[in-house]
Amino acid sequence: MVLLSGRLVVASHNQGKVREIAALLAPLGVEAISAGALGLPEPEETEATFIGNAALKARAAAEGSGLPALADDSGLEVHALDSAPGVLSARWAGPSRDFGLAMQRVWRELEAVGAQDRSARFVCALALATPEGAVRVFEGDVHGHIVWPPRGDKGFGYDPVFQPEGFDRTFGEMSHDEKLPLTHRARAFEKLLAALR
């Protein structure tokens, strides 16, 4: 498997996600380039799992760029909603990626089922692919619960409604530097780096 060095494509067009991944790669001296900056199309996410979609995106970016590629597929799973939105997390935000609407939908559906249980988790699957087609995958998660109304304007996605266990603030209320080591993405990265050592 390729070692992380030189240039690596981050197979995402989500700038918040690209920024987090670039920050996690920075200590390794890796130059992270987004798939969007290279003009690579976003493949349709047709898999039923985070790991399946991450591998699909990493392979597509590695083949399209001729460089190693790292893809993340991540999302929010709400226990009382049978783990929805899950792999459909971004699609709940619609074509305009309006996560304000997506957060409202989560809350509406929790109210519709009369759920007292607000437990949730963020899940991240990372896939590292070579242009030759080799892929390795790693998964991390962080547990917490859904709060309403949304709190904070930092972060991205569902961060303003997710309060991680052991904290009294949402990810949306935390600075980038405070939030990053607590995230599902950081936990998946720990596994990836351990495997590469």
Range of the domain at 64: 7-196
- Give the tokens for residue 12: 């995402």
Least confident of 27-36, 53-62, 94-103: 27-36
Residue 134 lies in a domain: yes
Q: What angle do CA 8, 75, 160 make, to 5 degrees?
A: 110
- Confidence (pTM): 0.85
Residue 185 lies in a domain: yes
Whether pLDDT at 1 is above 50: no
Closest CA to 124 of 38, 196, 57: 57
Domain count, the chain: 1
For residue range 56-76, list pLDDT tens digits in order.
Answer: 999 999 999 999 999 999 999
Q: Which helix (H) or strand (E) holds 164?
A: strand 162-164
Helix (H, G, I), strand (E, B) or coil at 95: coil
Residue 2 lies in a domain: no
Q: What angle do CA 31, 33, 34 make, to 5 degrees?
A: 150
What percent of the chain stands above pLDDT 90? 71
Instruction: Find the catalytic residue in 72, 73, 98, 153.
Output: 73
Give catalytic status of residue 82 as yes or no.
no
Q: Which helix (H) or strand (E) holds 57?
A: helix 50-65
The CATH number of the domain holding residue 176 is: 3.90.950.10
The confidence score (pLDDT) of residue 138 equals: 96
The confidence score (pLDDT) of residue 26 equals: 78
Whether pLDDT at 27 is above 80: no
Rounded distance, CA 62 to CA 70, Å? 8
The confidence score (pLDDT) of residue 197 equals: 62
